[in-house]
Amino acid sequence: MSLRKEKFYKEFVRRENDIYRAPYNPELEFYSQIKAGNVSKVKELCKDALMDKPGLGTLSLNSTQNMKYHFAITTAMVARYCIEGGMELSAAYTLSDFYIQKADLCKTVKEVSDLHPVMCEDYAARMKNLRKKKVCSLAIANCVDYIYDNLHTRITIEGLASYVNLNPSYLSRLFKKEMGQSVSDYIQDTKINTAQNMLIYSEYSIAQISSILAFPSQSYFTKIFHAKTSFTPTQYRKLHFRNTEIGKDKTTP
């Protein structure tokens, strides 16, 4: 069963990074990947130039000014998502102002368009660094990486301690000191965050997601998910599916 879970989990991770994956809403995926700090995926999504994106509305009859307006809108949206993901408000808006000002100095549509992936990848890289901003030791950094790579298994403090060659009690104290929460809480939060993405971006059933992420039962998964998000998994999936189907604007990333 553990090999089957690993296969399903790695299939989800692979789909997260493959170009062919089609989410309910490409815009939601784009901003969510920046928020998650997935630099490689953001680079992939930005491979097509902003000026070649379909569906860009006409905000100005001047083509260069029109592209600047769309760049400013996209940058503001990226900043908002990153704030939701934990970036300090002042840092997010300072960076936003910096890039919008740079775009304002551009002389051509191509110059504005070329600035778009630079801005997106900068935000994504900063969000990736946020994940480890509290980590001071190599042992805890290795634990964090191990947790993200093994969410399809039951991760224990004893297993982590063995992985980094530390005493379990010492590792437990060190982890809480550096990460601000216990190992079990961190694992649980990370699994729930992953479950949220799986509910939005995959067609796995709730029972499958519960099993793939190694929860002891679907009822326990639902209980923890509700405690963390205030929604049941079913409610969460329906809510985000509905949000991706209505209220779309014509600005694409």
Asked if the model's pLDDT at residue 244 lies above 60, the reply is no
Per-residue confidence at 38, pLDDT binned at 50, 70, 90?
Answer: confident
Whole-angstrom distance, CA of residue 87 vs CA of residue 93: 10
Per-residue confidence at 155, pLDDT binned at 50, 70, 90?
Answer: very high
- Work out whether the CA dihedral 159, 188, 192, 120 comes out positive or negative: negative
**For the segment 193-228, what is each residue's pLDDT rounded down to a tens digit?**
889 888 887 788 999 999 999 999 999 999 999 999
The full DSSP string for 48-111 is S-GGG-TT---S-SSHHHHHHHHHHHHHHHHHHHHHHTT--HHHHHHHHHHHHHHHHT--SHHH
Whole-angstrom distance, CA of residue 168 vs CA of residue 159: 9
Q: Which CATH architecture has domain 2-13+135-245?
A: Orthogonal Bundle (1.10)
Q: Percent of the chain at pLDDT above 90?
A: 50
For all residues of the chain together, what is the average pLDDT? Answer: 83
User: Cα–Cα distances in Å, from 209 out to 8, 9, 51, 127, 157?
Assistant: 9, 9, 38, 25, 23
The model's pTM is 0.54
Whole-angstrom distance, CA of residue 241 vs CA of residue 89: 28
Residue 54: count other Cβ atoms within 10 Å of its Cβ.
7
In the prediction, which pLDDT does 105 show?
A: 95
Q: Which two tokens stand for residue 24?
A: 């309910």
**For the segment 105-144, what is each residue's pLDDT rounded down to a tens digit?**
999 999 999 999 999 999 999 998 887 665 668 899 889 8
Asked if the model's pLDDT at residue 1 lies above 60, the reply is no
CA terminus-to-terminus distance, the chain: 40
Surface-to-core class of residue 227, CB atoms within 10 Å of its CB (0-12 exposed, 13-18 middle, 19+ buried): exposed
Q: Going by C-beta distance under 8 Å and a sequence separation of 6 or more, which residues neighbour residue 101?
A: none
167-184 burial, b at 16+ Cβ within 10 Å, e below that, comes to: eeeebbebbeebbeeebe
In the prediction, which pLDDT does 194 show?
A: 87
Three-class DSSP labels, 163-229: HHCCCHHHHHHHHHHHHCCCHHHHHHHHHHHHHHHHHHHCCCCHHHHHHHCCCCCHHHHHHHHHHHH
Whole-angstrom distance, CA of residue 154 vs CA of residue 216: 9
Whole-angstrom distance, CA of residue 154 vs CA of residue 22: 30
